[in-house]
Amino acid sequence: MSGSRKGIPNKISRYDTDILPRLSDIKEWLMQGDTVREICKKLEMSPDTWYRYCREHETLTELVTMGRSVLCNEVEKSLIKLCTGYDYEELKTTVEEDKNGKKRTKIEKTKRHQPPSAQAISFFLRNRMPEEWSDKKEIILDTSQNDETRKRLFLEMINSNAIEGEYTITEGQDNQPKNEEDIGNNLMSSVFTEINASIL
């Protein structure tokens, strides 16, 4: 029987006490790039409990997805800035003291330019346009034409009786042909070697 018994309230879970009140904090942590382990440490719960709550509560799942999406967009913007270059202001703070001993803080602003990063450009192109910029190219070789050429040359050599095999049988050597079948196999191997050499 589901639900609580009459007069006894439902048991409050850690999701109600630790997650719901801190949804805005969790969103900020996600946008800052905190890992699951770091978030769980702040919430004082185990990663298993966190993942279980993510499966059971759609609100938390959507929050995690949104937070990570915002983070990815910010990282992508930063990467594009590195690829194209950008201007920025450099602040320099100095403390000056006049003749009366009175101190005054002086802030100097200097405009600087960050040129494009070749490493960032390479990373961007290899991931966004891998077909054109990837370092690894897939090369497909069609060897069917070479196979057909080998077969044709082999048949021509057989039909023209152009194969002459020279061999000797020496007693006591296991690697020498001992019968007609072995002789034929060795002859066939030498023929294919000659054909391959003529093609290549």
β strands within 65-194, DSSP E:
86-97, 103-114
Angstrom CA distances, 197 to 136, 146, 153, 161, 192, stand at 31, 12, 12, 20, 8
* pLDDT computed for residue 188 by the predictor: 54
Nearest to 200 by CA among 143, 161, 122: 143
pTM of the complete model: 0.47
Q: pLDDT tens digits, residue range 75-128?
A: 888 889 889 998 888 888 888 887 777 888 888 888 988 899 998 888 888 888
Cα distance between residue 85 and residue 83, in whole Å: 6
By percentage, how much of the chain surpasses pLDDT 90? Answer: 25
* pLDDT computed for residue 175 by the predictor: 52
Instruction: Tell me how crowded residue 13 is: count the other CB atoms within 10 A of its CB.
Output: 14
Domain positions in the chain are: 14-84, 86-133, 144-199
Instruction: Decide if pLDDT at 163 tops 60.
Output: no
* pLDDT computed for residue 1 by the predictor: 42
User: Residue 5's pLDDT band (boundaries 50, 70, 90)?
Assistant: very low
Specify the amino acid at residue 11: K
